[in-house]
Amino acid sequence: MFFAPLVPGLLVVVVGYLAGYGLTALVDDLLGHPLGSRAPEVVGWLTGLVLLLVTVRWLLRRRRHQK
């Protein structure tokens, strides 16, 4: 049961990863692959982590204002 609270966070990271990876791969393909083969993966992980941080910050602020 320890991992149950981590599942929503993992889903947020995966959604951010998919969005960042997809957008970077699309732009890279349109530009003729000048970014390299690893760029979409790096941008995907960074997007996922940023989305997680934004979500956690939003939830904490929301929780503070409800009290």
Distance separating alpha carbons of residues 61 and 25, to the nearest angstrom = 34
Angle (CA) 59-19-40 rounded to 5° is 125
pLDDT of residue 33: 87
pLDDT digits (tens, 9 = 90+) for 28-50: 999 998 988 899 999 999 999 99
Q: What is the DSSP string of 26-40?
A: HHHHHTTS-S-SSHH
Q: What pTM did the predictor assign?
A: 0.83
Strands (E), the chain: none
Q: Is residue 2, in this structure, part of any structural domain at all?
A: no
Range of the structural domain that residue 22 is part of: 11-66
Number of structural domains in the chain: 1
Q: Does some domain include residue 15? A: yes
The answer to the question of residue 6 being in a domain is no
> Within a domain: residue 3?
no
Question: Could you tell me if residue 60 is inside a domain?
Answer: yes
- Is 5 within the bounds of a domain? no
The verdict on residue 45 lying in a domain is yes
* Residue 49, number of CB atoms within 10 A of its CB: 15
Of the chain, the percentage scoring pLDDT greater than 70 comes to 97
